[in-house]
């Protein structure tokens, strides 16, 4: 009964639905910018709206204002590769996100996140450094 009311309310009030959708995007990345890992303060269109990008989950990622503003209308991967905080794992996460594979994207982001609990165990298990992941950067 109540959930039906809620659905009705969302249909009736698209703004509420958009707000919830945006919130869910931020939750996917633990409220971190998908590019640099800082707190996400905005939603960035991977393909800019000015180039026909749609406001759908596959094309919208949480981003901090600095990244969002700096990227502007540039092609996302092209722009991202030039950043000092470029991380191949985040680039892979971005690709997975665009493919609609949010679970994979989230896993990659958790891995890339320095605060993540999962990272130390990976390091200990094979003793290799993250530098290895720079191989695709050039």
Chain contacts with Zn ion (rule: CB under 5 A): 33, 35-36, 38, 64, 67
Residue 33 or residue 91: which is nearer to Zn ion going by CB?
33
Quick one: tokens of 114?
A: 């320095």
CA gyration radius, the chain:
17
CB 119 to Zn ion: min, Å? 19
d(CA 52, CA 54): 6
Residue 39 or residue 100: which is nearer to Zn ion going by CB?
39
d(CA 130, CA 44): 27
Distances (CA, A) of 1 to 7, 56, 112: 10, 28, 42
CB 90 to Zn ion: min, Å? 10
CB 96 to Zn ion: min, Å? 18
Residue 64 or residue 93: which is nearer to Zn ion going by CB?
64
């Amino acid at each position: 009964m109540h959930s039906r009311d809620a659905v009705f309310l969302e249909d009736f009030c698209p703004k509420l639905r958009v707000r919830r959708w945006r919130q869910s995007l931020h939750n996917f990345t633990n409220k971190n910018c998908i590019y640099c890992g800082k707190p996400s303060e905005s939603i960035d269109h991977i393909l800019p709206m000015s180039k026909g990008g749609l406001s759908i989950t596959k094309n919208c990622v949480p981003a901090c204002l600095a990244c969002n503003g700096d990227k502007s209308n540039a092609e996302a991967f092209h722009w991202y590769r030039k950043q000092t905080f470029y991380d191949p794992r985040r680039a892979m996460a971005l690709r997975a996100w665009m493919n609609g594979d949010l679970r994979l994207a989230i896993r990659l982001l958790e891995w890339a996140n320095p605060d993540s609990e999962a990272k130390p165990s990976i390091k200990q298990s094979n003793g290799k450094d993250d530098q290895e992941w720079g191989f695709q950067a050039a």
